[in-house]
Amino acid sequence: MAASKSQGSYFGLFLVGATVLVGGIAGIASATGKLLMLVGVGILLAAAAGFLKIKPLEGETPVERSPEAMKWMGAGVVLLGWVVTIGGLHLVDSNGGRIVASLLGIGVSLFGMLYVLPAAFNKTAFWKTAGGRPARNGFTAVASKATLESELTGGPRAMESAR
C-alpha cells in the first residue's frame, strides 16, 4: 500500500486510530466509549500530521490534471447506484424485488467505478501524450536498461567525481 516506510507507518497509525474511533462511537453511551473516541481522534490527528509532514518528500505527481466534470460525473454515477440500492430497499416489499433493485444499484455503481472514472483519468495518463512522446523525461516506448538507469540515478556525488 505504501511507497515508503514512513507512509506505511502513518497509514498503520491511521488504521489504528480509525479502529479506536469506531470502537468509541459504538460505545459512546459509556465513559469508556467517550474516552476511546477522544483517543481515536487524537491518533487520527497524529496520523494526519505525519502525512502532511512527509508530503513534500513525495516528489512530482506523474499524472496530469484530468477533466473535473468527468470526475464529478463518475462520482455521481457511483452515488446514483447507492441511491438506487437503498431506495429500492425502501420502495419494494418483496425479497425478489429487493434483490433485483440491489443488483441494479450495484451494477450502476460498478459502471461508474470501472468505466466512467477510469475514462476520466486515462485521458491525461502520463503514458499518453500528443505526438507519441512520453510525458515524463527518460521514459521511451522502448527503453533499454541503460536509458532507465541513467534517468533514475542521480548525478555523480562528491566522492565519485574525485575519482
pLDDT tens sequence across 101-129? 999 999 999 999 998 888 777 766 656 65
Residue 92, number of CB atoms within 10 A of its CB: 15
Top-confidence residue, 132 or 124: 124
**Half-sphere exposure (CA, 13 Å, Cβ side) for 10?**
16
Give the mean pLDDT of 75-99. 92
What's the sign of the alpha-carbon dihedral 52, 118, 64, 69?
negative
Output the 3-class SS for 72-110.
HHHHHHHHHHHHHHHHHHHHCCCHHHHHHHHHHHHHHHH
pTM of the model: 0.44
pLDDT tens string 3-41: 678 888 999 999 999 999 999 999 989 999 999 999 999
CB 138 within 8 A of CB 151: yes
